[in-house]
Amino acid sequence: MRQRPQIPTVEYRPGVVRLLDQTRLPLEEVVHESRDLDTLIDAIRRLVVRGAPAIGVAAAHGAVLALERRLDRGETGDLLDQGLRKDLSALRAARPTAVNLMWAVDRMSSLMDRTQAEELVQAWREEAARIQAEDVELCRRMGEHGAALLPDPSVILTHCNTGALATAGIGTALGVVRAAVDAGKRVRAYADETRPLLQGARLTAWELQRMGVEVEVLADSAAASLLRDKKIDAVLVGSDRIAANGDVANKIGTYPLAVMARRHGVPFYVVAPTSTVDLQVANGDAIAIESRDPSEIHSLGGVRTTPEGVGAYNPAFDLTPAELVDAIITETGVLRPPYASALA
Amino acid sequence: MRQRPQIPTVEYRPGVVRLLDQTRLPLEEVVHESRDLDTLIDAIRRLVVRGAPAIGVAAAHGAVLALERRLDRGETGDLLDQGLRKDLSALRAARPTAVNLMWAVDRMSSLMDRTQAEELVQAWREEAARIQAEDVELCRRMGEHGAALLPDPSVILTHCNTGALATAGIGTALGVVRAAVDAGKRVRAYADETRPLLQGARLTAWELQRMGVEVEVLADSAAASLLRDKKIDAVLVGSDRIAANGDVANKIGTYPLAVMARRHGVPFYVVAPTSTVDLQVANGDAIAIESRDPSEIHSLGGVRTTPEGVGAYNPAFDLTPAELVDAIITETGVLRPPYASALA
């Protein structure tokens, strides 16, 4: 039962970025191929690839792809340089909230002082591969630190998808489950379905099932009753950006989950690599929250659910104040409040 | 713009109970006809008709239908009497949480001492019509009391559907909006989509649009951000049963909504007729909460969303403790805490 997805979440091959198309899961396992930057940016926007760390890895490979295409067209010197800067800007703007995207683009950007195009190709290919390999290792360490916090047996509740599909490795919050299972702990899981795009129902349930972990899916609004009535040992979530004071931006629905967990005395853990921490923003209010298209609310699986002409309020993320977070689990260890000093 | 649905929510014609099929809205306006009790009970279970008051009205007409069918078959005396008692039990058991169903069946049951079948037919037809007419009047009065609480202009947030589709009249919580609009107040609305069956997205949005009220639909999990970020003047919800201490059973997702409203200082109002109050249960923990079929979580609009073999946690209702309710608006007026004395 315990098998990794056969298709990697993100994979670079010369001239092409291959993504496991997450909009088609769990019904179909299909590879999406980007041979130019526009296709990849569109894929990031449409959530063909999603999850803050995976977006970062995909963006790094995207920079390589952009460079390869410009060299194919014979661009050199200033033309190449200006084109690449435009490409990196476009990549940065693909999605506004996940800071790992900006962080990965910045790493690529910092190598642009290479004078020879051939040197830059080599440097970027290596850097993208390094970002990917590092993420595997970060996930492993977060999993190890987090798994130590889970009792045996454990019942956990999670939101959205934070597993192998959201990273290059075993995942963040779901990586903790994976590490606990691999360490021989008995874990059962509840997965919020995570409207509007159902990453929990579609992706987390799929990953847990492949891990051999028993999982029940629930409507997001049922989590409050679950926390009230059942023995839940921990709530585990990921993050798209963490402010300097420990406020957490994550998938819409995380904030009420944290409030309900605190109300019912259930530990609420955020699992994220330190690349998710943005010391440039003092607190959550300074984090840009992406508003996504109303169509995500108006229909599901191609079936219209609301009447025509009705509006929608569709923020993709919300902000959880630091005081509701019992620990932030990073690759460097388990951070406890006050987070301002711990994160700095 | 302001028009009532042309098809009544529940309508009795000799030999047939006609329901506006709410599983088909808003895409299609189709009438569902029950000519025997089994068909009607199945319709109640499948939410062809839903909303605690509307279920009560449908059940009253269902009793008449059952009696007519038994008389058609020539049943008399003890055979008829025992058959009808079985029918009323089946009706009571159609759904476990909404107390209006039990209340309506009890009203019909209390008339069974009529000795002549012809007398009973007449008495039941009149009682069912009375229950329906009373509900129209209850809604009108709740609307009046509730509308007085809304500032002008108002922005409200509501959950599930509590309008003309949930009652025989203008509704409970949504009836308050209707009454406020009819009184000339300017009201804008946000409607939680209300997973799993999307009564908010499908039905509330449809009703508000027909009322000429501007409405935005949101994922249930986005309500917390909405309450944090936007000026919401009131949260208005209905109820399926209210315990003697004021604890409220209502659609799954009501409890976290009440917690978030309190956290952000937004008044949380429950709108329900006194027939919803069950003085037999001391507090919410004694209210039976219906668990519905996992398929409601596993697929949407016929499209499978979770992998095969995954479980589901699917309670249809949750419990909101009385201390989170700022007022209970009934036909007799606006009740304020402590509710134990006010409800008694």
Q: What is the pLDDT of residues A159-205, one digit of tens each?
A: 999 999 999 999 999 999 999 999 999 999 999 999 999 999 999 99
Distance CA A172, CA A194 (A): 17
CA distances from B89 to A117, B61, B121 (A): 82, 15, 18
Nearest to B303 among A252, A301, A314 (CB): A301
- What DSSP string describes B275-342? GGEETTSSSGGGS---B--THHHHEETTEE-SPTT-EEE-BSEEEE-GGG-SEEEETTEEE-S-HHHH
Model confidence over B175-210: pLDDT tens digits? 999 999 999 999 999 999 999 999 999 999 999 999
Model confidence over A222-251: pLDDT tens digits? 999 999 998 899 999 999 999 999 999 999
Is residue A3 assigned to a domain?
A: no
Helix axes A117-147, A99-109, angle to 10 degrees: 140
Of chain A, the end-to-end C-alpha distance in Å amounts to 41
Model confidence over A251-288: pLDDT tens digits? 999 999 999 999 999 999 999 999 999 999 999 999 99
pLDDT score at B115: 72
Is residue A4 assigned to a domain?
A: no
User: Chain A: residue nearest B191 by CA?
Assistant: A312
Is residue A195 assigned to a domain?
A: yes
Q: Which tokens in the block code for residue A239?
A: 């993050």
* Residue A194 and residue A109 share a domain: no
Nearest to B313 among A190, A253, A260 (CB): A190
* Residue A219 and residue A97 share a domain: no
Distance CA A234, CA A227 (A): 10
Q: Which of A138, A158, A190 is the last residue of a domain?
A: A138
* Residue A163 and residue A86 share a domain: no
* Residue B290 and residue B178 share a domain: yes
* Residue B224 and residue B102 share a domain: no
CB contacts < 8 A, A to B, total 181
CA distance B205 to chain A (A): 7
Residue with tokens 């009753």: A225
Task: Calculate mean pLDDT across residues A52-75.
Answer: 96
User: Of the candidates A187, A164, A171, which has an alpha carbon nearest to the alpha carbon of residue A234?
Assistant: A187
Residues of B in Cβ contact (< 8 Å) with A197? none
**Structural domain count of chain A:** 2
* Residue B229 and residue B288 share a domain: yes
Confidence check: pLDDT of A1 > 50:
no
Confidence band for A98, pLDDT divided at 50, 70 and 90: confident
User: Chain B: residue nearest A203 by CA?
Assistant: B306
Residues of B in Cβ contact (< 8 Å) with A319? 225, 228
By annotation, the residues of B acting in catalysis are 240
* Residue B169 and residue B285 share a domain: yes
Distance CA A116, CA A102 (A): 25
CA distance B180 to chain A (A): 20
User: Chain A: residue nearest B292 by CA?
Assistant: A218
C-beta atoms of B221 and A315 within 8 A: no
Task: Calculate mean pLDDT across residues B46-50.
Answer: 96
CATH code at B61?
1.20.120.420
Residue with tokens 């693909």: A94
Least confident residue range of A100-104, B111-115, B316-320: B111-115
Residue with tokens 């009607």: B40
CATH code at A303?
3.40.50.10470
Instruction: Give the range of the structural domain holding residue B79, as residue numbers without chain letter.
Output: 10-138
C-beta atoms of A219 and B260 within 8 A: no
Distance CA B307, CA B292 (A): 19
C-beta atoms of B220 and A216 within 8 A: no
User: Chain B: residue nearest A255 by CA?
Assistant: B224
C-beta atoms of A259 and B259 within 8 A: yes
pLDDT score at B6: 64
Let me know how long chain B is.
344
pLDDT score at A199: 96
CA distances from B213 to B27, B155, B156, B278 (A): 19, 11, 11, 33
Which helix (DSSP H) or strand (DSSP E) does residue B127 occupy?
helix B117-147
pLDDT score at B302: 75
Distance CA A326, CA A258 (A): 10
Is residue B192 assigned to a domain?
A: yes
Which residues lie below 8 Å from residue A87, measured CB to CB, with a gap of 6+? A37, A63, A66, A67, A70
Mutation for testing the A interface, residue in B97, B221, B266, B295 having most A CBs under 10 Å: B221
Confidence band for A6, pLDDT divided at 50, 70 and 90: low
Is residue A5 assigned to a domain?
A: no
C-beta atoms of A205 and B310 within 8 A: yes
C-beta atoms of B305 and A301 within 8 A: yes
User: Chain A: residue nearest B304 by CA?
Assistant: A27
Of chain B, the end-to-end C-alpha distance in Å amounts to 41
Is A220 one of the annotated active-site residues of the chain? no
Distance CA A339, CA A246 (A): 5
C-beta atoms of A311 and B219 within 8 A: no
Confidence band for B1, pLDDT divided at 50, 70 and 90: very low
Mutation for testing the A interface, residue in B202, B290, B306, B318 having most A CBs under 10 Å: B306
Which helix (DSSP H) or strand (DSSP E) does residue A203 occupy?
none
Q: Which tokens in the block code for residue A19?
A: 């993504």
Residues of B in Cβ contact (< 8 Å) with A220? 195, 219-221
E-only strand ranges, chain B: 10-13, 16-20, 31-34, 154-158, 187-192, 215-218, 234-237, 241-243, 248-251, 268-271, 277-278, 299-300, 303-304, 311-313, 317-320, 327-330, 333-335
Q: Which of A138, A166, A184 is the last residue of a domain?
A: A138
CA distance A203 to chain B (A): 8
Least confident residue range of A93-97, A128-132, B162-166, B234-238: A93-97
Is residue A270 assigned to a domain?
A: yes
Residues of B in Cβ contact (< 8 Å) with A202? 305-306
Distance CA B273, CA B221 (A): 28
* Residue B134 and residue B149 share a domain: no
Identify which has the larger pLDDT, A2 or A101.
Answer: A101
* Residue A148 and residue A133 share a domain: no
Is residue B4 assigned to a domain?
A: no
Least confident residue range of A1-10, A118-127, B242-251, B268-277: A1-10
Nearest to B219 among A252, A304, A310 (CB): A252
* Residue B166 and residue B54 share a domain: no
C-beta atoms of B256 and A253 within 8 A: no
Let me know how long chain A is.
344
Confidence band for A2, pLDDT divided at 50, 70 and 90: very low
Interface ipTM: 0.94
Categorise residue A253: left if φ over 0, alpha if ψ from -120 to 50, beta otherwise.
left
Is residue A2 assigned to a domain?
A: no
Catalytic one of A87, A192, A233, A240:
A240
* Residue A201 and residue A324 share a domain: yes
C-beta atoms of B221 and A195 within 8 A: yes
Asked if B59 and B91 touch (Cβ cutoff 8 Å), the reply is: yes
User: Chain A: residue nearest B314 by CA?
Assistant: A218
C-beta atoms of B219 and A195 within 8 A: yes
Q: What is the dihedral of CA B64, B70, B75, B76, to 10 degrees?
A: -10
Mutation for testing the B interface, residue in A215, A221, A229 having most B CBs under 10 Å: A221
Instruction: Please state the pTM of the whole predicted model.
Output: 0.95
Asked if B248 and B254 touch (Cβ cutoff 8 Å), the reply is: yes
Q: Which of B138, B156, B185 is the last residue of a domain?
A: B138
CA distances from B333 to A33, A185, A207, B342 (A): 63, 56, 52, 10
Asked if B73 and B24 touch (Cβ cutoff 8 Å), the reply is: no
pLDDT score at B2: 45
* Residue B263 and residue B323 share a domain: yes
Q: Which tokens in the block code for residue A282?
A: 């003092």
Confidence check: pLDDT of A3 > 60:
no
Which helix (DSSP H) or strand (DSSP E) does residue B133 occupy?
helix B117-147
C-beta atoms of A305 and B219 within 8 A: no
